[in-house]
């Protein structure tokens, strides 16, 4: 998949959940656009392999751990002197109807999606402030906008990310930082884990008639991360074949 050309030469990008799926495609995209890329993931083996394959740096970090996140930001900023763009993309599913959800299903999903987004953004604020520049791109979901049976935990986390995006956009604007979100729809491992019947139902509801490819998420993220998008903040951009219309 060929993307619109962007130039991120001299910029440092950190992508959570970078071992596979959308995160890994974003890593490829930012490498091609000249950035120094750090793929962060709690899957140490896969993130090591993915980073070696695309020419990025691998950081073994669990976004639900403040210590891991702070250590990762310390490593990235001491190696490159900066952190310009973060993509809060790491995520898991623990789908069940709400009366079957355990406390752990609830807490883990919130701690990773919403908590991880908060933790990495918070850890980067001192660097964004001293640079007078930063780009935060969060990854929400159609489910956070509209709800979805079996995903009360995920919907809550993804809706929370939208509230966080808008609040952080207001708080960080004074430091030259924009905070936006994408709502993707891409055929990844996460989609493969959806039962076939449900998946066919979802595909049929997409106006463009198919799931997207992870690489099709990149131009939207690249645009929001670019200096040219500096007057856009607090938006949620669906990149979803029209499913959220």
Ligand X SMILES: NC(=O)c1ccc[n+]([C@@H]2O[C@H](COP(=O)([O-])OP(=O)(O)OC[C@H]3O[C@@H](n4cnc5c(N)ncnc54)[C@H](O)[C@@H]3O)[C@@H](O)[C@H]2O)c1
Interface positions with ligand X (CB under 6 A): 16-17, 19-23, 41-43, 62-64, 89-92, 112, 139, 141, 184-186, 188-191
Q: CB-wise, 125 or 190, nearer to ligand X?
A: 190
Please say which residue, 125 or 191, places its beta carbon nearer to ligand X. 191
Shortest reach from residue 145's CB to ligand X, in Å: 10
- Residue 132 beta carbon to ligand X: minimum distance, rounded to whole angstroms: 29
Q: What is the spatial distance between Cα 41 and Cα 19, in angstroms, rounded to a whole number?
A: 6
Q: Find the shortest distance in angstroms from Cβ 174 to ligand X.
A: 28
Q: Which is nearer to ligand X, 42 or 128 (CB)?
A: 42
Instruction: Give the 3-state DSSP-derived string for the chain, with helices as H, strands as E and coil as C.
Output: CCCCCCCCCCCEEEEECCCCHHHHHHHHHHHHCCCEEEEEECCHHHHHHHHHHHCCEEEECCCCCHHHHHHHHHHHHHHHCCCCEEEECCCCCCCECHHHCCHHHHHHHHHHHHHHHHHHHHHHHHHHHHHCCEEEEEECCHHHHHCCCCEHHHHHHHHHHHHHHHHHHHHHHHHCEEEEEEEECECCHHHHCCCHHHHHHHHHCCCCCCCECHHHHHHHHHHHHCHHHCCCCCCEEEECCCCCC
Q: How far is the CB of 151 from ligand X (least distance, A)?
A: 10
Among all residues, whose Cβ is closest to ligand X? Answer: 21
Min separation Cβ 65 and ligand X, Å: 8
154 is catalytic: yes
Our CB check for ligand X shows the closer of 91 and 133 to be 91
Closest CB to ligand X among residues 31, 181:
181
Torsion from C-alpha of 10, 14, 18, 24, nearest 10 degrees:
-30
| Residues noted as catalytic | 154
């Amino acid at each position: 998949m060929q993307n619109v050309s962007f130039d991120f030469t001299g910029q440092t990008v950190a992508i959570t959940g970078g071992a596979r799926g959308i995160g890994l495609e974003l890593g490829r995209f930012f490498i091609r656009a000249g950035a120094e890329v750090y793929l962060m993931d709690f899957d140490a083996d896969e993130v090591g392999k993915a980073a070696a394959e695309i020419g990025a740096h691998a950081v073994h970090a669990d976004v639900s751990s403040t210590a891991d996140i702070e250590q990762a930001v310390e490593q990235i900023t001491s190696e490159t002197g900066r952190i310009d763009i973060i993509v809060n993309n790491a995520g898991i599913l623990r789908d069940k109807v709400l009366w079957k959800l355990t406390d752990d299903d609830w807490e883990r999903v919130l701690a990773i999606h919403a908590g991880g987004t908060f933790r990495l953004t918070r850890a980067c604020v001192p660097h964004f402030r001293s640079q007078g520049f930063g780009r935060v791109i969060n990854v929400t979901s159609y489910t956070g906008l509209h709800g979805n049976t079996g995903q009360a935990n995920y919907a809550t986390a993804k809706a929370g990310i939208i509230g966080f995006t808008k609040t952080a956009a207001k708080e960080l604007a004074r430091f030259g930082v924009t905070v936006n979100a994408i709502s993707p729809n891409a055929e990844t491992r996460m989609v493969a884990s959806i039962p076939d019947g449900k998946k066919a139902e979802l595909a049929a509801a997409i106006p463009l008639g198919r799931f997207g490819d992870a690489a099709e998420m990149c131009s939207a993220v690249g645009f929001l991360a670019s200096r040219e998008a500096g007057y856009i903040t607090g938006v949620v951009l669906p990149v979803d074949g029209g499913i959220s219309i």
